[in-house]
Amino acid sequence: MAQNLDELFDVVDEQDRVLRQAPRREVHAQHWLHRAVHVLVRNRAGLIFLHQRSRLKDLFPGAWDTSCAGHVGAGEDYDSTSRRELEEELGCRPAVPPRRLFRIEAQPDTGWEFVWVYLAEDEGPFVLEADEIERGDWFTPAAIDRWIAAQPGDFASTFPLLWRQARHLV
């Protein structure tokens, strides 16, 4: 599924209340507040699955990011978006729905998105959506810490921000 720049998002106010809908390209160009989810998938060994974003993405092409992430579509809610993104991007349907960890306020490093971060448990293997993901792999939390410290530019801007909080919850 190629990226749809006409996909509608809910534009929200500073309290994350819906104001109106607008297409992706306009929301991103105007830096309007909107919504997204990030899901970290952990396996029984405690490894975290990260993915490298497709080079077709309009933002942060080729950067590394959470297991899966996506915008909350117009009229959609955070929880259903987390489940949809797992299925669309990873072909993953965990036995237990993803669990909310915390919310990050909209800011420049999130691309003006209010972000709910989730944790899901799954062993894979995953079927990666090629239009969304170049590749992915499992990493120890300590390896992720070292990688961010050494090469923060390898990551989409939201990831280091959310990893600081998620690190102690995963």
Which helix (H) or strand (E) element contains residue 169? none
The reported pLDDT for the residue numbered 36 is 97
The reported pLDDT for the residue numbered 1 is 46
Q: Which CATH number fits domain 8-166: 3.40.50.300, 1.10.275.10, 3.90.79.10, 3.30.360.10?
A: 3.90.79.10
Burial group, residue 74, by CB count within 10 angstroms (0-12, 13-18, 19+):
middle
The reported pLDDT for the residue numbered 2 is 52
Supply the pTM of this predicted model.
0.94
**Helix/strand/coil for 41:** strand
The reported pLDDT for the residue numbered 5 is 72
Domain limits, the chain: 8-166
Q: What does each of the 170 residues of the chain score in pLDDT, given as a tens digit?
A: 456 778 899 999 999 999 999 999 999 999 999 999 999 999 999 999 999 999 988 789 999 999 999 999 999 999 999 999 999 999 999 999 999 999 999 999 999 999 999 999 999 999 999 988 999 999 999 999 999 999 999 999 999 999 999 999 99
